[in-house]
Amino acid sequence: MNDKARNAEEGFGGIIGQEIPKRILTYLIGAGHLPGTMLFTGPGGVGKLATAIALAKYLHCPDKAIDGCDCPSCSAIRSGTHPDVVVLSQERQIRVEEIRELTALATLRSSEAHERVIIIDRAENISRSAANAALKSLEEPGKHIRFILVTDTPFKLLPTVRSRAYNLRFSLLSQECMGDFARAIGDDPLEKDAAEAIRLSGGRPGIYLRWKHCEGYRETVGSVRSFLDDVLSDVEPSVRKALEWKAQFWELAETLSSVEKKADLPRGGDAYDIARHLASPKEYPVKPVNWRIEEIAKKESRWSQGRKLLYLVGLLRRVLSIKLNAQTSRAIRRLQDFDEKIRFNCNSDIALERLYFGLSGLQG
């Protein structure tokens, strides 16, 4: 292993698990063949954005992103103020004007003679027209420009976009890795709340953080459990009950999305960043996103209805998986079917009605 690869391997030390993506990136860096456009795919909350940020740090850090580095470059990337690392993360559709702004930025010379890194988180939100506008830049980004697209639903990207990117697949973490993650951020994985958070997380560090370090999220999980118990034990489903259940579902989805927005969680940080942020949130901010069109336009960032539904369904599945048996297995399959329908733009009201009748009476 040459010096470049060795430094890169050290720089990814704060990313727990994901050995295959880290090994591939380490090899590409060592060989000098790091692609100009990369696509990071896999389940949400497993470290895709954190890995993209760690790669940006390596490319700009004079010490090559040694773990916990506090150099001006790494600090600026972590707080979203680095002039050559742009992170775009939108809850709504990414418009063509924004993509054109980014591609125009990519053509400018780096202000510090380093590589310019443009990270598009939640890349599935790129509109069709915006994706078409970016094709040329993605195919030939330039010698010192890196595009990194991050998404948990790659099939929503145009095939022409996917074909122009080097794809790295991220996976869920094992229970052992989740324990390592808990220890790395300063928690005791054997402590009751941490152990329950590990079980609930389903191999996603992002979910672990919400459960263990966000009181509002824990309270919402209690409401979700009651909501599930009521529908699973309903042996006399009816259209009237289905309508009431849909209203409760939307109310719970709104509550969950509101909790997510208010939570001060270090999104995009590696384990070392997270540990220091949890110890001193104000002194050690972890907010790498620095391209907010909503702030410029003075508009509030809103979650799409589909995203709210999917986020709640994901939590419902995780709650059910804690006590796995024949009834909960059938309920999880029905939730997975609902998830697929929403992802492929099925009518949400019809899908919710079918979900209600599919879940009701499973424990009766």
The pLDDT tens digits for 177-236 are: 999 999 999 999 999 999 989 988 889 999 899 889 988 888 888 888 888 888 888 888
Question: What's the 3-state SS for 335-347?
Answer: HHHHHHHHHCCCC
Q: What whole-number percentage of the chain has pLDDT above 90?
A: 27
pTM beyond 0.85, yes or no: no
Mean of all residue pLDDT scores within the chain: 84
Q: Which of 205, 202, 201 is nearest to 182 (CA)?
A: 205
The pLDDT tens digits for 149-172 are: 999 888 888 888 899 899 999 999
Residues 125-143, mean pLDDT to the nearest whole number: 81
DSSP 121: E
The pLDDT tens digits for 267-310 are: 889 999 999 999 998 888 888 887 544 444 444 456 677 778 88
- Is residue 40 within 8 A of residue 149, CB to CB? The reply is yes
E strands of the chain, at which residues?
37-41, 85-89, 116-121, 145-151, 166-169
Q: Which domains does the chain have, with CATH numbers?
A: 3-169 (3.40.50.300), 175-265+302-359 (no CATH)
Judged against a pLDDT cut of 80, whether residue 135 lies above it is answered with yes
Residues 6+ positions from 287 with CB-CB distance below 8 Å: 78, 79, 80, 266, 267, 268
